[in-house]
Amino acid sequence: MPLKLPTIIGHRGAKAYAPENTIESIHTAADMGCKWVELDVKLTKDSVPIIMHDDDLDRTTNGHGPVAQITYADLCHLEAGSWFSESFSGIKIPTLEEAIEVILARDLGVNLEIKPCPGREKETAEAMLDHLSQFWDDRDRLLISSFSHVSLEIAAEMAEDWYRGLLLESDPIPNWLELADYLEVTTINIDGRTAEREFVEDILDTQRMILAYTINDPQLALQLRQWGVDAMFTDDPDAVNETLFKPH
């Protein structure tokens, strides 16, 4: 059975409307009608998987310094909402387990991106997959992706049955196809803002699904859909959905 993905996946929840990678952002995406969300997973100093994008705390919390140097106990004292808007002040960085509870409660699928701090590619994948295996069993509504080949290699070893996606930078590595074959990925996740049609067609030739990030321009979404892109990550599900699915 191929992976069934909706056309629109909420990026870090619904990042344009709520603080990214938070419980509130997941709820907002679900309230907007998203069937799937994308979230980033990192580790605290004491190896607790949390939902967080940056290597440093500064941009999205009132903390400072590297995520890899803060314990979970200290992380619990931080807040992760007021940088976005005062109405969100006081909200917390969720653990992977807390995020999954909400995803299950809201009946969502999820793309979890393994986003290791430098040097923690192996342990981040191991800790995430170990935790996830304890409370996730719906293979068809989960995609594990990463830019890190090491992390995807661990995923292939530890959770062979779960779908994997290879994330590519704006300037894709020349050996992307060899890597995709080696890691046995189901999806290739590309930067849809810079991708050219020829590259999209090259991926389509491999019979893999194409996911494009981060598409907030409705007209670009329309173009990518016409090229054959299967799904798009967006900060603004409402705007992109409205354009893609309005009667023409």
Q: Which residues are catalytic?
A: 11, 53
Phi, psi of 8 (to 5 degrees): -115, 130
Contact by Cβ (8 Å): 92, 80: yes
Tokens of 173: 């590595």
Instruction: List strand residue ranges (DSSP E) for 142-201, in order.
Output: 142-146, 163-167, 187-191
Provide CB contacts within 8 A for 64, sequence distance 6+. 56, 57, 58
Q: How far is CA 104 from the centre of its chain?
A: 16
Distance separating alpha carbons of residues 158 and 152, to the nearest angstrom: 10
Residues 6+ apart with CB under 8 A from 128: 41, 43, 49, 96, 112, 114
CB atoms within 10 A of CB 46: 11
